[in-house]
Amino acid sequence: MREEALTIPARDGYPLGAALLQPDDAPRAALVLNGGTGIPKEFYRRFAAYAAERGYAVLLYDYRGIGGSRPESLRGFAATMRGWGERDMPGALDWLHGRFGGLPLYALGHSVGGQLLGLMPNHHLLDGAALITVSTGYWGGMPRWYGAFTLGIWLLGVPALTGLLGYFPARRLRLGEDLPAGVAREWGAWCLRRRYLAAFIGRTIQRHFYAEFRSPLFALSFSDDRIATARNEAALLGLYGAAPLERRRLRPAEVGLRSIGHLGFFRQQGRDRLWPLPLDWFMGKDKG
């Protein structure tokens, strides 16, 4: 396996920190990994290395404001969650297509990385996408105690802290990487609505492609996930109504694990039990 550190452009030219992992031999397909909110690309490296061992060229990158794409200061830094889907994710796919355009191209989206595929104007470049714990973030669709916790963050924590600091200090609260104020505020606004981002189509979201998205989808979720509950998952997947969809919702015990939750798929425990699932699905598309 070979690894290359990169800087790639978003659709508007913003530089995104990235890394490309490839097999020593010619890759069979190329994969872009769209991460979750506030999760740096390094979290996904072990999975990416495994995929490279299986013949995939894998592009990891950070959304603007996160990890290797973070400016010196987040105070006053302009970024939104919808901008990740409208500019950063399409820029990463453009780069992948430019480098590996003759190969099948896939996306693996974790959480928000699968929510926003329908904002990408170049979604038609994808031969398929795997959605890992992808759902709305609606607080009312979560277990009662956890929903109350997130409701407090959106109604009190985000407005107060972004107003005071100019960004959301998620790292200090052990909630992931710090977030630009615009990202945190928009995310909170979506999570307060039952329809999540769909409630803002025609308002802050002026252009989208959910109804046009027809690349095959493989959705994988877990029964012990407090965020991507069955209710929240179904609400999000409903946006991709025109896409062929294969959906699997697993109990951890089915794959010999005690817990998986929202992040556990990408931990080392998933190597033999979970990581083959989306890659085998992609391989089936290659053969088809």
Q: What is the pLDDT of residue 288?
A: 56
Four-residue CA torsion sign, 171, 172, 175, 179: negative
Q: What is the mean pLDDT of residues 153-177?
A: 95
Six-digit token string for 252: 């951890």
Q: What is the pLDDT of residues 61-112, one digit of tens each?
A: 999 999 999 999 999 999 999 999 999 999 999 999 999 999 999 999 999 9
- Residue 154 maps to a domain: no
71-75's contacts with Cβ under 8 Å and 24+ in sequence apart are 74/166, 74/167, 74/178, 74/179, 74/180, 74/181, 75/165, 75/166, 75/167
- Residue 92 maps to a domain: yes
Helix (H) or strand (E) holding 221: strand 217-222
- Residue 84 maps to a domain: yes
C-alpha–C-alpha distance, residues 196 and 190, integer Å: 5
pTM beyond 0.85: yes
Q: What is the pLDDT of residues 172-200, one digit of tens each?
A: 988 899 999 999 999 999 999 999 999 99
Quote the domain boundaries for residue 40: 2-139+208-287
Q: What is the mean pLDDT of residues 192-219?
A: 97
Helix (H) or strand (E) holding 51: helix 45-53
Q: What is the mean pLDDT of residues 222-249?
A: 98
- Residue 223 maps to a domain: yes
DSSP output for 134-202: -----GGGS-HHHHHHHHHIIIIIHHHHHHHHSEE-TTTTTSSS-EEHHHHHHHHHHHTSTTGGGGGBT
Query: Of 75, 42, 80, 81, whose CA–CA distance to 169 is shortest?
Result: 75
Q: What is the pLDDT of residues 113-146, one digit of tens each?
A: 999 999 999 999 999 999 999 999 999 999 999 9
Does the pLDDT value for residue 287 go beyond 80? no
The domain tally of the chain equals: 1
Does the pLDDT value for residue 46 go beyond 70? yes
Q: What CATH number does residue 10 fall under?
A: 3.40.50.1820
- Residue 151 maps to a domain: no
